[in-house]
Every structure is written in structure tokens, then in C-alpha cells.
């Protein structure tokens, strides 16, 4: 039985959740219209919807704060009240709110529309990040050309946005204070519902640093062999323009420069795709079929009709991949500028993971249609991709012949995985350690750029190809910094995904401890209804329960834990330690000399 006041509370939240769902629906429609057609008119229209809804969200939060719902006897009422009283930017007055949304959307528009001039044809200034500049960073082996594209992009996508970013810092700080947070960083941290979160992050990073140092040392050694000592220092920071990615967040695009066993070549999956007439549509169909093989939700017809899966040639779009929930009639979509290659095959699964989450929790009240830990949402697709990219599965779908690797090929494949999964960690960690420091005014505005590069060097041992000063401003060269997207969700996801993978592989009978035929790096859960049932149950909770409760039901654990990740990569870690000592590879790095000391 429950008291009249609880019945009254439930009615209140039922009504408010329906209104909130409608607000989400119109917000995401307006945002999708802008993201798939970047014009100032669409940008203004989107902000107008945000502003109108912010007033409603603020009123709801204030109504709840003046009630006793957070003390209700009903745990579900308490949790809904807690979530809905968290005001972010909507705490700002209307003028400040509009100014903040203008700053953020202006940075996003700049990022989406920045083009750079070709290194080989300076009069052609039409090159976009995806696919043109990324193709050069992956395939050019000319340090001068790579440095050209690094600098063009950072000058045009970064430095030009300094004023907008300063306005963003000022107004998010004001919003955080209005909500009694010490800073906007503390507003972000509260979404992990764990007072110990930042300490756990630091502990996880420290646990993984020795492994990263082995990878960093080996890569620097091999890069120096290839490019020579004038380009790559023996013991200093790695110049990041050589690493195959604009931000140095994953290095697998240039793995052919440092394959552990070059005599065991990688299968060229892209060539197989091209040879088999793969289309973008096919990549998404394979992903859809994977989830269906687990007994999970199929993509609804509206997904295929309303998504934007390739870059259109008649308008500007925000190419950065994203998945969308329109909070109505299972209307879920992906927007990305897909190309047919292995990188996008991975991104397709990453985004379909978000889509599956949306579909699994759509029955929850609007307030609980999200992940209980931001890292969970970013981990789902990656977990499936760990199975999809295994030699076993690539053979199943006919992209390779060999479904079981010999020891040397296994080291090569584990190294390729580590060049995105382990290399990513210092990058992900720094993205928000830096923004926390800026939001908390621990780095002051005149040092914002040098502070950024000092942290990238301290945590990851990478540096710009050219000297940078505080006259430059490089952070907005990264999408998430422009778009006000918190980033530690990806760091957490890179650890959680191995915990999820181990649990699912066990359920699928694909993994057993100490069974050399059933290791984590060659597990493929394809077709396992057992695994699918567990994953569906995990996702269907949405954020209705604390993430530790939901995690415990799924994997038996209650913490973010690096053990599964280290178990997955152990053969490589042991190999690297031996190889680096055999070669006499120096480990670690000093301070970067690319910023004024």
C-alpha cells in the first residue's frame, strides 16, 4: 500500500514525464534539422526551441525543489525527483541562456564548416576533415605534409573560436553557481552518482599507465627508425602529426609503421569490402543483423527512412557521428558521413549501440530514458564491435579466411586493438582533466593553450608538430570541446566495455578462464540468445536504478575495474615488456619543448 501523498506524487511525475517527453521530442527534431543542414536559420530555430524548453525545465526543477518529493517513502519518486531537480544551463536567465547556446552552436557550426587548403595545391581550400584531411593523416608519410594539415586544422578550427569558448566558460560557470555547484566540472561529475568518481578515474589511469608507457616507447622507437632522429626524439614526446589521427587519440591508422611482426601482414579488410561490393547500407545491415542474432531489437523502418548515413553534396552537415533518440514511436536515427572501410565499420557499431540502448529503455518514463552512468552509453556499441572485429567473426561474415590466429598474428591484432583502446586512455583522461581545470579556474585564461599542451604531454607523451603559444588556441579543434560534450564517458566506456565483454562471452560459452581456445580476444557472441537476454535486461533499466545496482545484476561487479581489460591484452603486454627490453627501448618522456618553458 502507499499513502495518498505517494499516489499524488506518482500522478505528478506521470504528467510531468509526458510533458518532458514532448519537450525532448521537439528539441531533438530541431537539433537534427540543424545538424543535417547547417544554416544560421536552422541554428537560430534550434536555439529558440531550447530556450523555450529551458524555462519549462527550470519551472519543473523549482516545483520539485519546493516539494517534499525527494523525501518520499517511494524510492522511485525520490529518484525521479533527484534527477529532475538537476538544472544545468536552464538555471540561467533567458538572455544568458541564449548567449550560451549561441556560443556553443557557433563553435559547432565552425567545426562543421571548416575547410583547409591542400598541401599539394594551395589554391584548393575545399578540404574537409572527413574524409579528406583524415585520409591524408592516415596515408601520407611526409612529415611536412602531415604538419601542414595539423596546423591548418588547429588554426582554423581551434584558434578562431577562443572568444566563443571564453563566453562558454563564463556562462557555464554562472549556471553551475546558480545550482550551488562549485563549478561546471562538479555539475558534470554528478552524473556519475559516485562521490568517489574522480579518485577512481585517477586510480584506473595509474593502473593502465605502465602498459601505455610500453606501447608509447615501442611506437616512438619504431617511428624513429622510420622517420629518423631529426623527426622523432629518442626519449621525448612523440610529434602527434605522425600518428594517423588529428588529435592523437588512436594510432591504429598508421600501424603499418610499427607492426610487431611485419612478415605477418594484416588482412586488408577494406580491400575485401570493396571486392565484395560492400555499401554503406551493407555496414548498417550487418550491425542490425548482429543485434537481431542476439534476440535484441531490430532497427525500425523509420531508422532507414530518416537517418543520414552519408555526407550529402547539396548542403553542410555536422559530419561527426551521432545517434539520435526522438522520444516518440521508436523514432531513432544515426547521422554520420560513412565511408566503406574498417574505421567506419567500427563507428557504425558504436552508434548502433546507442540506438539499441534507446530502443531497450523506451518504455521508461522520460526522466529515466538514459544511461545510469554516462560511460555505459558509450560502451554498448564498442562491446559488440569487440566481437565483430574478432578474427572469428570476420571469417563468419567472409571478410577474412583465417578465423584463428597464430601467436604472431595474434600479437599483431592485439597491438592494433591496443592502438585504439589503450592509446585512447590518456587522451580521454586529458580532455576532461583539462576542462575541469579550466572550469575550476585552476588554469587561468592567459595559460589556457599552453596548459592544454602541458597536460597532453604530461599524461600522454605527445606534442604538437610545431611550437604553440597562448596566442594560439587549440582545444576547439576537437568536436566535443565545441559541442559541450563531456568526455570522461569515453574513458569510462573503454574500461567498462571489457567488463561487459567478459560477462557476455562467458554467457555465450565463448570464454572460460585459463582455456587457451576460449580467450577474450577471440570471443564472438554472435547468435547467443543467452548473452542477448542479459544485455537487453541491462539496457532496459535505463537510468531508473543506480549504475552499481544494474552493473551488479549484469556482471556481478559493483565498480569500474581494469582487470578484464588487462586480461584481454595480457599476451601483448608481456610481449612488449620483453621486446622493449630486448631492443633497449627507453620508456617514459620528458616535458614538451613545443610550448614556452
Ligand X SMILES: C=C(C[SeH])C(=O)N1CCC[C@H]1C(=O)O
Binding site for ligand X (CB under 6 A): 249, 321-322, 347, 350, 490
Using a 10 angstrom Cβ sphere, with 0-12 exposed, 13-18 middle and 19 or more buried, the burial of residue 590 is: exposed
Nearer to ligand X, 54 or 336 (CB): 336
CA angle 233/234/237 to nearest 5° reads 50
- Smallest separation, CB 134 to ligand X (Å): 11
Residue 595's Cβ-side half-sphere holds a number of Cα atoms within 13 Å equal to 25
Nearer to Zn ion, 448 or 487 (CB): 487
- Rounded Cα gap, residues 107 and 477, in angstroms: 10
Nearer to ligand X, 489 or 594 (CB): 489
Residues 384 and 505 sit within 8 Å (Cβ to Cβ):
no
- Smallest separation, CB 428 to ligand X (Å): 7
Q: Is 382 in the site for Zn ion (CB under 5 A)?
A: no
* Grid coordinates belonging to 282: 551493407
- Rounded Cα gap, residues 495 and 154, in angstroms: 29
Can you say whether the dihedral through the CA atoms of 153, 155, 161, 166 is positive or negative? Answer: positive
Can you say whether the dihedral through the CA atoms of 266, 268, 269, 272 is positive or negative? Answer: negative
Q: DSSP letters along 531-573, please?
A: HHHHHHHHHHTTTSS-HHHHHHHHHS--S--THHHHHHHHHHH
- Smallest separation, CB 48 to ligand X (Å): 26
- Smallest separation, CB 381 to Zn ion (Å): 7
- Smallest separation, CB 350 to ligand X (Å): 5
Q: Which does 522 bind (CB under 5 to 8 A by kind): ligand X, Zn ion, none?
A: none
- Smallest separation, CB 325 to Zn ion (Å): 12
- Tell me whether residue 480 is one of the annotated catalytic residues: yes
Cβ neighbours around 59 below 10 Å, total: 11
Task: State the Cα torsion 190-195-201-202 to the nearest 10°.
Answer: 130
**Residue whose Cβ sits closest to Zn ion:** 378
Q: Which does 321 bind (CB under 5 to 8 A by kind): Zn ion, ligand X, none?
A: ligand X
Q: Which does 255 bind (CB under 5 to 8 A by kind): ligand X, Zn ion, none?
A: none
Nearer to ligand X, 76 or 135 (CB): 135
- Rounded Cα gap, residues 306 and 335, in angstroms: 9
- Smallest separation, CB 377 to ligand X (Å): 8
Residue that has been written with the C-alpha cell 620508456 in this structure: 587
Pairing of strands 115-116, 322-325: unpaired
Residue that has been written with the C-alpha cell 559541442 in this structure: 483
- Rounded Cα gap, residues 89 and 111, in angstroms: 22
Q: Which does 347 bind (CB under 5 to 8 A by kind): Zn ion, ligand X, none?
A: ligand X
- Rounded Cα gap, residues 129 and 434, in angstroms: 24
Q: Which does 435 bind (CB under 5 to 8 A by kind): Zn ion, ligand X, none?
A: none
Task: State the Cα torsion 234-236-239-245 to the nearest 10°.
Answer: 100
- Smallest separation, CB 243 to Zn ion (Å): 22
- Smallest separation, CB 515 to ligand X (Å): 31
Looking at 74-158, which runs of residues are DSSP E strands? 115-116, 127-128
Active-site residue, from 152, 351, 362, 463 = 351
In 3D space, the residue among 543, 546, 544, 494 whose CA is nearest the CA of residue 195 turns out to be: 546
Nearer to ligand X, 249 or 522 (CB): 249
Which region among 150-158, 224-232, 370-378, 408-416 touches Zn ion (by CB under 5 A)? 370-378
Contacts of 274 (CB under 8 A, 6+ apart): 340
Nearer to Zn ion, 378 or 482 (CB): 378
Nearer to ligand X, 291 or 346 (CB): 346
Nearer to Zn ion, 539 or 572 (CB): 539
- Phi and psi, residue 325, nearest 5°: -115, 120
- Residues contacting Zn ion: total by CB under 5 A: 1
Helix runs in 485-542, H state only: 488-507, 529-540
Here's the x/- map for Zn ion, 391-430, by CB under 5 A: it reads as: ----------------------------------------
Active-site residue, from 480, 494, 501, 541 = 480
Q: Which does 489 bind (CB under 5 to 8 A by kind): ligand X, Zn ion, none?
A: none
Q: Is 378 in the site for Zn ion (CB under 5 A)?
A: yes
Q: Which does 322 bind (CB under 5 to 8 A by kind): ligand X, Zn ion, none?
A: ligand X
Q: DSSP letters along 370-415, please?
A: S-SSHHHHHHHHHHHHHHHTSHHHHHHTTS-S-SS--HHHHHHHHH
Q: Is 521 in the site for Zn ion (CB under 5 A)?
A: no
Which region among 141-149, 358-366, 378-386, 413-421 touches Zn ion (by CB under 5 A)? 378-386
Nearer to ligand X, 90 or 322 (CB): 322
Catalytic residues: 351, 480
| Interacting residues with Zn ion (CB under 5 A) | 378
Amino acid at each position: 500500500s502507499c499513502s495518498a501523498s505517494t499516489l499524488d506524487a506518482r500522478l505528478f511525475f506521470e504528467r510531468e514525464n509526458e510533458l518532458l517527453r514532448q519537450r525532448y521530442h521537439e528539441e531533438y527534431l530541431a537539433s537534427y534539422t540543424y545538424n543535417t543542414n547547417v544554416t544560421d536559420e536552422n541554428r537560430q530555430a534550434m536555439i529558440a526551441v531550447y530556450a523555450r524548453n529551458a524555462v519549462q525545465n527550470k519551472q519543473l526543477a523549482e516545483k520539485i525543489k519546493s516539494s517534499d518529493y525527494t523525501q518520499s517513502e517511494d524510492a522511485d519518486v525520490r529518484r525521479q525527483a533527484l534527477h529532475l531537480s538537476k538544472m544545468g544551463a536552464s538555471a540561467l536567465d533567458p538572455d544568458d541562456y541564449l548567449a550560451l547556446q549561441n556560443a556553443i552552436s557557433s563553435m559547432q557550426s565552425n567545426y562543421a564548416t571548416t575547410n583547409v587548403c591542400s598541401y599539394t595545391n594551395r589554391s584548393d581550400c575545399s578540404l574537409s576533415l572527413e574524409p579528406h584531411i583524415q585520409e591524408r593523416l592516415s596515408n601520407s608519410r611526409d612529415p611536412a605534409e602531415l604538419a601542414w594539415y595539423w596546423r591548418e586544422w588547429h588554426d582554423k578550427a581551434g584558434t578562431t573560436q577562443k572568444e566563443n569558448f571564453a563566453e562558454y566558460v563564463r556562462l557555464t560557470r554562472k549556471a553551475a553557481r546558480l545550482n550551488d555547484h562549485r563549478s561546471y566540472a562538479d555539475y558534470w561529475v554528478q552524473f556519475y552518482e559516485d562521490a568517489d568518481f574522480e579518485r577512481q578515474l585517477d586510480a584506473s589511469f595509474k593502473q593502465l599507465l605502465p602498459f601505455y608507457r610500453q606501447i608509447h616507447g615501442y611506437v616512438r622507437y619504431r617511428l624513429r627508425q622510420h622517420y629518423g632522429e631529426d623527426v622523432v626524439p629518442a626519449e621525448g614526446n612523440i610529434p602527434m602529426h605522425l600518428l594517423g589521427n588529428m588529435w592523437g587519440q588512436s594510432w591504429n591508422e598508421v600501424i603499418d609503421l610499427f607492426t610487431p611482426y611485419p612478415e605477418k601482414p594484416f588482412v586488408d579488410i577494406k580491400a575485401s569490402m570493396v571486392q565484395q561490393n560492400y555499401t554503406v547500407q551493407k555496414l548498417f545491415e550487418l550491425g542490425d543483423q548482429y543485434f537481431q542474432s542476439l534476440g535484441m531489437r531490430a532497427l525500425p523502418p523509420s531508422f532507414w527512412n530518416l537517418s543520414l548515413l552519408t555526407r550529402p553534396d547539396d548542403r553542410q552537415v555536422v559530419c561527426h557521428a551521432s545517434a539520435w533518440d526522438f522520444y516518440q514511436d521508436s523514432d531513432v536515427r544515426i547521422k554520420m558521413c560513412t565511408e566503406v572501410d574498417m574505421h567506419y565499420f567500427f563507428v557504425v557499431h558504436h552508434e548502433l549501440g546507442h540506438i539499441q540502448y534507446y530502443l531497450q529503455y523506451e518504455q521508461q518514463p522520460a526522466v529515466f530514458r538514459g544511461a545510469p552512468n554516462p560511460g555505459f552509453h558509450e560502451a554498448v556499441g564498442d562491446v559488440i564491435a569487440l566481437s565483430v572485429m574478432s578474427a572469428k567473426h570476420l571469417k563468419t561474415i567472409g571478410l577474412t579466411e583465417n578465423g584463428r590466429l597464430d601467436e604472431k598474428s595474434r600479437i599483431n591484432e592485439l597491438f592494433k586493438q591496443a592502438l585504439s583502446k589503450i592509446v585512447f586512455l590518456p587522451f580521454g583522461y586529458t580532455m576532461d582533466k583539462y576542462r575541469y581545470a579550466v572550469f575550476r579556474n585552476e588554469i587561468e585564461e592567459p595559460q589556457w593553450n599552453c596548459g592544454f599542451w602541458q597536460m597532453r604531454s604530461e599524461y600522454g607523451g605527445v606534442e604538437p608538430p610545431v611550437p604553440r603559444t597562448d596566442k594560439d588556441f587549440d582545444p576547439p579543434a576537437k568536436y566535443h570541446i565545441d559541442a559541450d560534450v563531456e568526455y570522461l564517458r569515453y574513458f569510462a566506456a573503454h574500461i567498462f566495455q571489457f567488463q561487459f565483454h567478459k560477462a557476455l562471452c562467458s554467457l555465450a560459452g565463448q570464454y572460460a578462464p585459463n582455456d587457451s581456445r576460449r580467450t577474450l580476444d577471440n570471443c564472438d557472441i554472435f547468435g547467443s540468445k543467452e548473452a542477448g537476454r542479459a544485455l537487453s535486461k541491462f539496457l532496459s533499466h535505463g537510468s531508473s536504478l543506480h549504475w552499481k545496482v544494474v552493473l551488479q545484476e549484469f556482471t556481478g561487479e559493483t565498480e569500474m575495474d581494469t582487470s578484464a581489460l588487462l586480461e584481454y591484452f595480457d599476451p601483448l603486454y608481456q610481449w612488449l615488456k620483453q621486446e622493449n627490453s630486448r631492443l633497449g627501448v627507453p620508456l617514459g618522456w620528458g616535458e614538451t619543448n613545443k610550448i614556452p618553458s
